[in-house]
């Protein structure tokens, strides 16, 4: 292994920090590494060719009052695979907020469970305002550039997908919706090269939807009217439609008038799913009502006759009441999949009758389902989802769901080992949807190390075919993406970027 520390960033966290989401499996790094020719147990498939990118919140400073696991700065990890070898880099996203707090050596904005009025800086980001846009939630690759995003609307930061250098913010030729921002989960349609996105806020019409072309030109941007401020986290799409949502979990309207942001689940208000033609406007939206829930993540959607089939994770208890838990388990119970009761679910939206039918398609508690991206917006059969450590925001294994037969195949990481969102990397020349590999990063608390695991997607239960050792134990984390080498500028040998990475 050829390793160097490229630099270290400032952390002002105390040596004896004991916050459950800044220590243990959530212990963050301050070092930024370059590591080539990583040590491997097993064998990296010679045709695994591309990069696994993972983002996650990493705490660097004590909170103004109370830290929430969503408050840390975005750090992206990349594990690249080529010719049976692997490399690793990790870098903080150089957001305006990160740079300002590095300069001042303290937290300047209020976090998710803090009073916005306690923020040191008056100006901030997010639908709520006075938050730090940490660009810490998701990462996708669009037109050869990695884009990081923030769950409560912000900028999209552009990163080199190989070096992870921050290249600046998306500008979209001057048309980036800076006043409202773009929210957590954008969607890249591999069939058109478009990036579909939404943003939300506290001002009518409360939701915006848009489409960006592969040339970074804004193709469409329109306001979508909602009954009030909402907190959508994800969207879906089909070949001809974008699918937005109005979940009945939102800031209490009365408290909001007093400047207090307290989310409540309204158990008697239906979930509304909005289907809009991909270039449609508010007048074109078809709203479908379904059982009340909050959907954090959709899996996929596609058209079938007059219906749209939409799969996602239904939360049986979106706002779980405290149940004898103490300490951090009580404070952060709403992050534990077992408490949220997240199960794979299917909604069928009939475009002729306007009716929605729905059914649970798995009894297993899973979330964070990924698919073979080539099937995005099109019929598909498999999703690869995470299982949760009871009581914690940690993933203790993965499940391959066959949504056609209901069959499930499982792999448990083992006690004290936690994974990340597991991506599917199709094999070049693949002959089937699950002809490829699954990739995830783990945190092994028993051995005090991290690995990047590679599975054969057709034999999940068989366990990893390769365990790639990272230079340092990383923080546990969530959202990730896969980008094939063929999508990445500079990936080919002889290019400057490839040469600088020792490829
Ligand atoms: Fe998310």
The pLDDT assigned to 111 comes to 93
Q: Can you give the pLDDT of all 503 residues of the chain as single tens digits? A: 899 999 999 999 999 999 999 999 999 999 999 999 999 999 999 999 999 999 999 999 999 999 999 999 999 999 999 999 999 999 999 999 999 999 999 999 999 999 889 999 989 999 888 999 999 999 999 999 999 999 999 999 999 999 999 999 999 999 999 989 999 999 999 999 999 999 999 999 999 999 999 999 999 999 999 999 999 999 999 999 999 999 999 999 999 988 889 999 999 999 999 999 999 999 999 999 999 999 999 999 999 999 999 999 999 999 999 888 888 888 889 999 999 999 999 999 999 999 999 999 999 999 999 999 999 999 999 999 999 999 999 999 999 999 999 999 999 999 999 999 999 999 999 999 999 999 999 999 999 999 999 999 999 999 999 999 999 999 999 999 999 999 999 887 656 556 666 66
Output the six-digit token pair for 164. Answer: 């992870």
Q: Which helix (H) or strand (E) holds 386?
A: strand 382-388
Q: Could you give the residue ranges of the DSSP H alpha helices within 217-288? A: 253-257
Residue 220's CB: how many other CB atoms inside 10 A?
17
The pLDDT assigned to 54 comes to 98
297 appears as a binding residue in the annotation: yes
The verdict on domain 2-482 having CATH code 3.40.630.10 is no
The pLDDT assigned to 502 comes to 61
495 CA distance to ligand 1 centroid (A)? 34
Residue ranges with strand state E in 9-104:
31-36, 40-42, 50-58, 73-82, 85-92
φ, ψ for residue 172, nearest 5 deg: 55, 45
61 appears as a binding residue in the annotation: no
The closest alpha carbon to 322, from 314, 333, 310, belongs to 333
φ, ψ for residue 101, nearest 5 deg: -75, -30
292 CA distance to ligand 1 centroid (A)? 19
Rounded CA separation 155/248 (Å): 26
141 CA distance to ligand 1 centroid (A)? 16
Distance between the two ends of the chain, CA-based, in angstroms? 14
Residue 3's CB: how many other CB atoms inside 10 A?
13
Q: What residues does each domain of the chain span? A: 2-482
173 appears as a binding residue in the annotation: no
221-263 pLDDT, tens digit each: 999 999 999 999 999 999 999 999 999 999 999 999 888 899 9
Place of tokens 């329109």: 222
71 CA distance to ligand 1 centroid (A)? 14
Q: How far are the Cα atoms of 157, 168, 219, 451 from residue 216, in angstroms, in the given order?
A: 13, 14, 9, 35
Output the six-digit token pair for 271. Answer: 């979930």
Q: How far are the Cα atoms of 339, 419, 446 from residue 462, in angstroms, in the given order?
A: 29, 17, 22
185 appears as a binding residue in the annotation: yes
Is the separation of the CB atoms in 245 and 198 below 8 Å? no
96-146 pLDDT, tens digit each: 999 999 999 999 999 999 988 999 998 999 988 899 999 999 999 999 999
Is the separation of the CB atoms in 70 and 58 below 8 Å? no
37 CA distance to ligand 1 centroid (A)? 31
| 496 burial via Cβ count (<10 Å: 0-12, 13-18, 19+) | exposed
296 CA distance to ligand 1 centroid (A)? 6
Please name every residue paired with 3 in a beta bridge, in sequence order, or none if there are none.
35
Rounded CA separation 100/70 (Å): 18
234 CA distance to ligand 1 centroid (A)? 7
The pLDDT assigned to 337 comes to 97
Q: Could you tell me which residues come within 8 angstroms of residue 203 by beta carbon, excluding any fewer than 6 positions away? A: none
95 CA distance to ligand 1 centroid (A)? 19
420 CA distance to ligand 1 centroid (A)? 12
Rounded CA separation 436/456 (Å): 6
């Amino acid at each position: 292994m050829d390793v160097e520390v490229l630099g270290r960033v400032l952390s002002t966290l105390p040596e004896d920090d004991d916050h459950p989401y800044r220590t243990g499996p959530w212990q963050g790094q301050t070092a930024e590494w370059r590591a080539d020719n990583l040590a491997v147990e097993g064998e990296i498939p010679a045709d695994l060719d591309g990069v696994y990118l993972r983002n996650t919140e990493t705490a660097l400073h004590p909170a103004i009052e109370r830290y929430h696991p969503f408050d840390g700065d975005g750090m992206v990890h990349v594990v690249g695979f080529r010719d049976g070898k692997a490399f690793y880099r990790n870098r903080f996203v150089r957001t305006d907020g990160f740079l300002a707090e590095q300069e001042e050596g303290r937290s300047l904005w209020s976090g998710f469970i803090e009073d916005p009025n306690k923020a040191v800086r008056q100006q901030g980001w997010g639908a709520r305002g006075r938050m730090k846009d940490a660009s810490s939630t998701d990462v996708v690759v669009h037109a050869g550039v990695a884009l990081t995003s923030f769950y409560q609307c912000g900028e999209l930061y552009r990163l080199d997908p190989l070096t992870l250098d921050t290249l600046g913010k998306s500008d979209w030729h001057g048309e980036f919706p800076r006043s409202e921002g773009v929210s957590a989960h954008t969607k890249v349609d591999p069939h058109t090269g478009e990036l579909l996105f939404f943003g939300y806020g506290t001002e009518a019409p409360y939701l915006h939807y848009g489409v960006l072309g592969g040339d970074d030109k804004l193709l469409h941007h329109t306001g979508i009217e909602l009954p009030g401020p909402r907190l959508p986290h994800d969207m879906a799409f089909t070949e001809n439609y974008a699918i937005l949502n109005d979940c009945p979990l939102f800031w209490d309207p009365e408290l909001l008038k007093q400047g207090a942001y307290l989310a409540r689940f309204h158990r008697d208000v239906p979930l509304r799913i909005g289907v809009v033609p991909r270039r449609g406007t508010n007048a074109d939206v078809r709203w479908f009502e379904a059982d009340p829930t909050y959907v954090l993540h959709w899996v996929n959607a596609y058209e079938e006759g007059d219906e749209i089939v939409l799969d996602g994770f239904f939360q049986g208890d979106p706002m779980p009441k405290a149940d004898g838990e103490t300490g951090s388990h009580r404070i952060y119970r709403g992050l534990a999949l077992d408490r949220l009761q997240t199960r794979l679910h299917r909604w069928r939206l009939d475009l002729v009758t306007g009716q929605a039918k729905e059914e649970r398609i798995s009894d297993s508690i899973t979330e964070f389902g990924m698919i073979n991206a080539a099937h995005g917006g099109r019929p598909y059969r498999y999703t690869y989802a995470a299982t949760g450590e009871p009581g914690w925001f940690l993933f203790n294994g993965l499940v391959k769901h066959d949504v056609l037969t209901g069959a499930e195949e499982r792999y448990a990481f083992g006690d004290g080992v936690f994974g990340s969102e597991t991506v599917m990397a199709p094999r070049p020349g693949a002959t089937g949807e699950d002809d490829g590999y699954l990739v995830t990063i783990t945190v092994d608390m028993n051995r005090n190390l991290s690995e990047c695991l590679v599975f054969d997607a057709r034999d999940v239960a068989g366990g990893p075919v390769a365990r790639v050792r990272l230079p340092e134990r990383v923080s546990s984390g969530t959202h990730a993406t896969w980008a094939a080498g063929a999508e990445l500028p500079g990936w080919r040998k002889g290019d400057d970027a490839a040469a600088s990475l020792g490829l």
